[in-house]
Chains A and B, each alone.
Chain A
Amino acid sequence: MEIRKNPLKKLSAHILKSYSNMERKDFPFVIAFLAIPVLQVLIFYFYVNFSSITMAFQDSTTGNFSLENIKQVLISFQENNDRWGQPVTEMLGKSVLIWVSGTLMAPIGWLTCYILTKHIPGSGFFRAMYSIPGLVGAVVFTTIVKDFFAYDGLVTKLLVEGGAKFPIQVIRNGLLGSKQTAFWSVFLLNRIMGIAGGGMILAGAFMRIPNELFESAELDGCGFFRETFSIAIPCVWTTLSTMMVFDLCGFFTADMSMYIYSNGTGIFGLNSMGYYLYTFSVNVASGGAKEIYHYASAVGFVITVITVPLVLLGRWGMAKISDAVEY
């Protein structure tokens, strides 16, 4: 009766009960295994996030509570111009475009992954070749793309020979050297190259669907399209929904390597929110002013406030759309 009244005693009683349920020798083992990772996450996730949120609401000179940083960030979004002249609203729009286009195209990616895995001979070879840009890394890949998009590069030449009309800046500097074409060139390239494959995890999920399932469906007169949409996709739904939630978390961090394309300058519109947030880290690492820490934290806070409800909504939506299919 006393335990029920006191929440602390209730909690300790619960812990003691759990502890007595497990073998005593297991407890030190569990502690030993978890000690370093838990300490790490407490310091570098929880403390860092707490510190970042605190800095967002602090005056950079006095350290007192202040809404000034948040106000300045909101004004910068309103005016599409932050204190360093960065077009923040434009960058926000680009990040939304990157994410929305990726999400809308995701079903095509699932379909290509399924057809490649289950219906195309030599799917392993195709998949291996599709992974080359990822394997060589962002620095190498963007360097190659810069070559192709240069004024005398293959893509620019092909487009000009195909009759495309470009402003003089593109003729002189290449597709990445003009505000009219730079972002769109990178964006379209990423989207076109991102369609095929669907990734290793999804390919593995499709491969694990037992063939018997398709065979019995075939005996029941199930055709290709029904097999795809009524068997294959629902069978990997758990994987798909999890991948989509993780993708949602990258709402403002997917930057299509804009930092490397623009050599860290964001020039010619080669920027996005992911680029913007990363430049703060680079600035503080190269000895930037104290106020950058506070401003960067405020930007992060505002963006987090936008992203978190979206992620929670996405998680809820994924769970609602379909229950996991067991096989």
Chain B
Amino acid sequence: MKIKSEKIKKFLKHSIWAKLFIIVFFLFFVFQLVIHVYPFLFVINNSLKTAEEIYKDSMALTTTWSFRNYLVMIQKFQVRGGIYFEELLFNSIWETALWLLANISSSVLVAYVLAKYRFPGHGLVYGIMIFTQTIPILGTGAAAYKLLHGLGMINNPASIWFYWCNGFDYSAFILYGTFKGVSASYSESAKLDGASNVKIFCSIMLPMMFPCIIALLVTNFLTMWNNYTTSQVTLSKFPNLAYGIYIFQKDALYMEEGDTIFYTALVASSIPGLALYLSMQNLIVKNLSVGGLKG
């Protein structure tokens, strides 16, 4: 409330041209709000309609409020003749959890060591981080698939985690900057008290990094939760919700109540991401920052 009133006070102090400029932008923001939110409200509305209502007028407001559609969707949503919603959901959960664990923990390890230790080859490892992030080598999908296939990692949940242990990605870059910002005096005092490197990392550094790590977990969660390419290329036997919906959209045309099932599935698959992100928005804004690219 204080911030709002401060913004309004500040607005009143501006020149007439600046006021006009801000008002035009405010109207633009409202227009943007409508075009960003309306499509999703449309889907929620249609998920609560009967098939007849959708057929008659897909744009009209629901009159039946058929929450029952969600139960029907759980029973009838299926792809490839037998993979049901709960299996797709389960695949989404374990794939996202495993990917987050592998990816973020690798990034934390690389960023911490680079930010806090000087060691032979430090410049080389830092150079790898910058190089892999800023030099795009494209069209390597076929070569990567060939290698993954050769290593037996395609459709193999027991080994695919290693492919996901990319500790030199954008997350590492953000974490590196944040670790750099943590004063060395904490670890130095702990060392004087006899703490080991592991103890310093686990008991001092990690807790201080929690807000940044949680912010990264949330943003990366969204990436993997909505990722259909992994299911399509590397884990095709374990389709996730995003890929399941991609496949189902064609089947929906030939199914009884296909439209309502489809719309309810769209809403259901979006809920985890929306809930997590909207509840953590402030934490993300405050804790994610990128520095310059040197090296």
Residues of A participating in the B interface, judged by any CB pair closer than 8 Å: 14-15, 18-19, 21-22, 25-27, 29-30, 33-34, 36-38, 40-41, 43-45, 47-49, 51-52, 55, 112, 115-116, 118-122, 124, 126-141, 143-145, 147-148, 152, 154, 192-193, 195-197, 200-201, 203-205, 207-208, 218, 223-225, 238-239, 241-243, 245-246, 249-253, 260, 263, 277-278, 280-282, 284-285, 292-293, 296-297, 299-301, 303-304, 307-308, 311, 315, 324
Knowing A137-B270, A311-B136, the reply to whether A37 touches B8 (Cβ < 8 A) is: no
**Does any Cβ of A come within 8 Å of B120's Cβ?**
yes
**Does any Cβ of A come within 8 Å of B274's Cβ?**
yes
Asked whether, in the complex, the Cβ of B290 is within 8 Å of the Cβ of A242, the reply is: yes
* Chain A neighbourhood of B80, CB < 8 A: none
- Chain B residue nearest to A204 (CB atoms) is B285
Knowing A45-B168, A224-B21, the reply to whether A204 touches B8 (Cβ < 8 A) is: no
Asked whether, in the complex, the Cβ of A281 is within 8 Å of the Cβ of B228, the reply is: no
Asked whether, in the complex, the Cβ of A281 is within 8 Å of the Cβ of B141, the reply is: yes
* Chain B neighbourhood of A36, CB < 8 A: 106, 109, 162, 165, 167
B233's partner among A112, A281, A315 (CB-CB below 8 A) is A281
Knowing A49-B140, A252-B138, A281-B141, the reply to whether A242 touches B291 (Cβ < 8 A) is: yes
* Chain B neighbourhood of A224, CB < 8 A: 14-15, 17-18, 21-22
CA of A154 to CA of B58, assembled, Å: 9
Supply 8 further A-B pairs (C-beta < 8 A) apart from A40-B163, A135-B278. A51-B146, A135-B270, A148-B42, A204-B288, A204-B289, A224-B14, A225-B18, A249-B134
Asked whether, in the complex, the Cβ of A144 is within 8 Å of the Cβ of B225, the reply is: no
Distance in Å: Cβ of B227 to nearest Cβ of chain A? 8
* Chain A neighbourhood of B13, CB < 8 A: 218
**Interface pairs A-B: 7 shortest CB-CB:** A300-B139, A137-B226, A37-B167, A281-B141, A224-B18, A52-B143, A296-B142
Distance in Å: Cβ of A146 to nearest Cβ of chain B? 8
Interface of B is mostly: helix
Q: Mark B62-102, 1 if CB is under 8 A from A, else 0.
A: 00000000000000000000000000000000000000000
CA of A304 to CA of B135, assembled, Å: 9
Asked whether, in the complex, the Cβ of B36 is within 8 Å of the Cβ of A34, the reply is: no
Q: Mark B247-258, 1 if CB is under 8 A from A, else 0.
A: 001100000000
Distance in Å: Cβ of A250 to nearest Cβ of chain B? 7
B39's partner among A48, A55, A148 (CB-CB below 8 A) is A148
CA of A27 to CA of B28, assembled, Å: 56
Asked whether, in the complex, the Cβ of B147 is within 8 Å of the Cβ of A48, the reply is: yes
**Does any Cβ of A come within 8 Å of B186's Cβ?**
no
CA of A218 to CA of B284, assembled, Å: 30
Distance in Å: Cβ of A326 to nearest Cβ of chain B? 11
* Chain A neighbourhood of B189, CB < 8 A: none
Interface of A is mostly: helix
* Chain A neighbourhood of B232, CB < 8 A: 282, 285
B139's partner among A33, A120, A192, A299 (CB-CB below 8 A) is A299
Asked whether, in the complex, the Cβ of B168 is within 8 Å of the Cβ of A41, the reply is: yes
Asked whether, in the complex, the Cβ of A253 is within 8 Å of the Cβ of B222, the reply is: no
CA of A252 to CA of B136, assembled, Å: 9
* Chain A neighbourhood of B121, CB < 8 A: 15
- Chain A residue nearest to B191 (CB atoms) is A23
* Chain A neighbourhood of B3, CB < 8 A: 121
Asked whether, in the complex, the Cβ of A297 is within 8 Å of the Cβ of B140, the reply is: yes
* Chain B neighbourhood of A44, CB < 8 A: 144, 147, 163, 166
Knowing A25-B197, A121-B8, the reply to whether A43 touches B266 (Cβ < 8 A) is: no
Knowing A112-B25, A292-B142, the reply to whether A129 touches B36 (Cβ < 8 A) is: yes
* Chain B neighbourhood of A242, CB < 8 A: 290-293
CA of A139 to CA of B286, assembled, Å: 29
* Chain B neighbourhood of A27, CB < 8 A: 119
CA of A143 to CA of B244, assembled, Å: 13
Asked whether, in the complex, the Cβ of A130 is within 8 Å of the Cβ of B32, the reply is: yes
* Chain B neighbourhood of A118, CB < 8 A: 7
- Chain B residue nearest to A208 (CB atoms) is B289
Asked whether, in the complex, the Cβ of B120 is within 8 Å of the Cβ of A15, the reply is: yes
Asked whether, in the complex, the Cβ of B165 is within 8 Å of the Cβ of A297, the reply is: no
CA of A41 to CA of B222, assembled, Å: 23
Asked whether, in the complex, the Cβ of B25 is within 8 Å of the Cβ of A115, the reply is: yes
